[in-house]
Structure 1
Amino acid sequence: MSEFLWEWLPLILAMLATGACAGILAGLLGVGGGIVIVPVLYFVLQTLGISPASAILIATGTSLLVIVPTSISSVRAHHKRGNVDWALLKRWWPFMVIGVICGSTVALRVNGEIVSGVFGVVAVLVAANMLFRAKAAPIAQQLPGMAGQGVMAGSVGFFSVMMGVGGGTLGVPLLTSCNYPSHRAVGTAAFFGLLISIPGAIAMLLADTPADAPEGMIGMVNLPGFALIVPLTVLLAPVGAWLGAKLDAVMLKRVFAIFLCISGGRMLMQLFGV
Structure 2
Amino acid sequence: MLDLFTWELAGVLIALLLAGALTGMLAGVFGVGGGAVAVPILYEFFRFLDVPEEVRMPLCVGTSLAVIVPTSIRSFNAHRAKGAVDMSILKIWAIPVVVGVIAGSFIARFAPAELFKAVFVVVAGVSSARLLFGKDSWRLGMDMPGRVVMSVYGWIIGVLSALMGIGGGQLSSLFMTFYNRPIHQAVATSSGLGILISIPGVIGYVYAGWPNVANYPDVAILQPPLALGYVSLLGTILLIPTSTLVAPIGAHLAHKMSKRRLEIMFGLFLAFVCIRFAASLFA
Relative to the length of structure 2, the TM-score reads 0.88
Local SS of the residue matching 1:50: coil
The answer as to 2:46 corresponding to 1:35 is no
More divergent stretch after superposition (237-246 vs 183-192): 183-192
In 2: Cα distance, 1:135 partner to 1:213 partner = 51
The Cα offsets for residues 35-59 of structure 1, whole Å up to 9 and x where unpaired, read as: 2111222244334433444221111
Matches for 1:65-80 after TM superposition, within 5 Å: 65-80=66-81
How far residue 18 of structure 1 moved from its aligned partner, in angstroms, is: 0.5
More divergent stretch after superposition (60-69 vs 100-109): 100-109
The Cα offsets for residues 70-129 of structure 1, whole Å up to 9 and x where unpaired, read as: 111011111111112222222211111111111111122211221221122212222222
Answer yes or no: is the 8 Å Cα contact 1:54–1:213 preserved in 2: no
How far residue 266 of structure 1 moved from its aligned partner, in angstroms, is: 3.3
The answer as to 2:231 corresponding to 1:221 is yes
Q: 1:250 to 1:268 in 2, by over 3 A?
A: same
Q: 1:151 to 1:105 in 2, by over 3 A?
A: same
In 2: Cα distance, 1:62 partner to 1:246 partner = 31
Local SS of the residue matching 2:109: helix
Answer yes or no: is the 8 Å Cα contact 1:53–1:113 preserved in 2: no
Q: 1:231 to 1:148 in 2, by over 3 A?
A: same
Identity across the alignment (%): 39
Partner of 1:90: 91
Q: 1:136 to 1:111 in 2, by over 3 A?
A: same
Answer yes or no: is the 8 Å Cα contact 1:64–1:197 preserved in 2: yes
The answer as to 2:120 corresponding to 1:119 is yes
In 2: Cα distance, 1:9 partner to 1:198 partner = 30
In 1: Cα distance, 2:53 partner to 2:161 partner = 19
Flag structure 1 segments of 5+ consecutive residues without an equivalent.
none
How far residue 178 of structure 1 moved from its aligned partner, in angstroms, is: 0.3
In 2: Cα distance, 1:95 partner to 1:14 partner = 35
Local SS of the residue matching 1:82: coil
Aligned length: 272
The answer as to 2:264 corresponding to 1:254 is yes
Partner of 2:144: 143
Answer yes or no: is the 8 Å Cα contact 1:66–1:229 preserved in 2: yes
Local SS of the residue matching 2:144: coil
Partner of 1:266: 276
In 1: Cα distance, 2:54 partner to 2:258 partner = 38
Answer yes or no: is the 8 Å Cα contact 1:205–1:220 preserved in 2: yes
Answer yes or no: is the 8 Å Cα contact 2:58–2:230 preserved in 1: yes
How far residue 256 of structure 1 moved from its aligned partner, in angstroms, is: 4.2
Partner of 1:163: 164
Residue identity opposite 1:71 in structure 2: S
More divergent stretch after superposition (60-69 vs 206-215): 206-215
The Cα offsets for residues 178-205 of structure 1, whole Å up to 9 and x where unpaired, read as: 0123222222111111110000001112
How far residue 249 of structure 1 moved from its aligned partner, in angstroms, is: 4.7
How far residue 268 of structure 1 moved from its aligned partner, in angstroms, is: 2.6
Answer yes or no: is the 8 Å Cα contact 2:98–2:158 preserved in 1: yes
Answer yes or no: is the 8 Å Cα contact 2:183–2:263 preserved in 1: no
Q: 1:213 to 1:18 in 2, by over 3 A?
A: farther
Partner of 2:14: 13
Residue identity opposite 1:41 in structure 2: L
Q: Displaced runs of 4+ in structure 1, greater than 6 A?
A: none
Residue identity opposite 1:32 in structure 2: G
The Cα offsets for residues 150-177 of structure 1, whole Å up to 9 and x where unpaired, read as: 1111111110111000121201110111
In 1: Cα distance, 2:235 partner to 2:259 partner = 30
The answer as to 2:175 corresponding to 1:174 is yes
Answer yes or no: is the 8 Å Cα contact 2:254–2:262 preserved in 1: no
Q: 1:171 to 1:29 in 2, by over 3 A?
A: same
Matches for 1:55-74 after TM superposition, within 5 Å: 55-74=56-75
Partner of 1:245: 255
Partner of 2:155: 154
Answer yes or no: is the 8 Å Cα contact 1:71–1:194 preserved in 2: yes
In 1: Cα distance, 2:42 partner to 2:136 partner = 32
Flag structure 2 segments of 5+ consecutive residues without an equivalent.
none
Let me know the Cα RMSD of the aligned residues: 2.1
Answer yes or no: is the 8 Å Cα contact 1:134–1:250 preserved in 2: no
